[in-house]
Amino acid sequence: MTSRSRASVARRRLILAGLAAALLAALTLLAGGACRPTSATPRDPLALHIVSYNIRHGRGSDDRLDLARTGQVLAALRPDLAGLQEVDRRVQRSGGVDEAATLGAQLGMSHAFGAFMPYQGGEYGMAILSRFPIESQTAIRLPEGNEPRVALAVRVRLPDGRALNVYNVHFDWVQDDAFRFAQARALAAVLDTVQVPYVLLGDFNDEPGSRTLALFHARAQELAKPAVDRFTFSSTAPTKEIDFVFVAPRAAWTAGRAQAVTERLASDHRPVVADVALRRR
């Protein structure tokens, strides 16, 4: 090998060594950057998909009792939390089934039941289903009206460790709103004492502009439906908006939305679905 060839080989080795050193330095820098804490980046809010549905104890608008069909509707809606009204537990008319437990098992969700009153050998009331653990439940007895009424309250534990309260209502249905308003005031007094974020949902049996709804608009944020498609009753010819979802306190939540789902058979109400996000701490 000539002296010129040996010099050329030496230069190539120096160049390759320099490239290798530069690559190693770059990889070291990248690795250091990947290990830097990211706590300065805002955390995403916790998104929740919520359903309110008066299931008419599984009896559809075709007058056929079919709780499995009700469960299929709910499964398609994929709720994180669901408030159900007109739910039977071991009642003769619905075949003696514990409907809350049955639907919870069908959807793989925890369940809670609150009874209004004894009925046909069982109990008639309402239920809450949750994908999160239910830590406690309370049936808040409300002033009686045409029928006895409760608000079903549960506390769930969210994935980040926080508590969230859920309140499910089904107020009196008669045209005179005196019973309904008394029930709403009793619940509003309870809500005024709540120290954690909450969801309020259900069949309010009253429409926008009523004094019943005004009580809750003063305390919570309604997840509003599109004005062009807001009616929830009846499922076959909807003319009334009586099913709602609220969240509170307002500062704890990002803006959300709701909609009434077209489902004509499974019940005489349309289900309401709502998407909202709870701000993380």
User: What percent of the chain has pLDDT above 90?
Assistant: 83
Ranges of residues in the chain with a pLDDT under 70 are 1-44
* pLDDT at site 35: 32
Separation between Cα atoms, residue 148 and residue 123, nearest integer Å: 12
Separation between Cα atoms, residue 172 and residue 156, nearest integer Å: 27
Cβ atoms of 184 and 197 within 8 Å: the answer is: no
* pLDDT at site 194: 98
The beta strands (E) that lie in 173-242 are given as 198-203, 221-222
User: Residue 52's closest CA among 211, 226, 267, 254?
Assistant: 267
Return the amino acid letter for 281.
R
Cβ atoms of 25 and 253 within 8 Å: the answer is: no
* pLDDT at site 4: 43
Query: Domain 46-278: which CATH class?
Result: alpha beta
* pLDDT at site 6: 44
- Per-residue pLDDT reduced to its tens digit, 181-204: 999 999 999 999 999 999 999 999
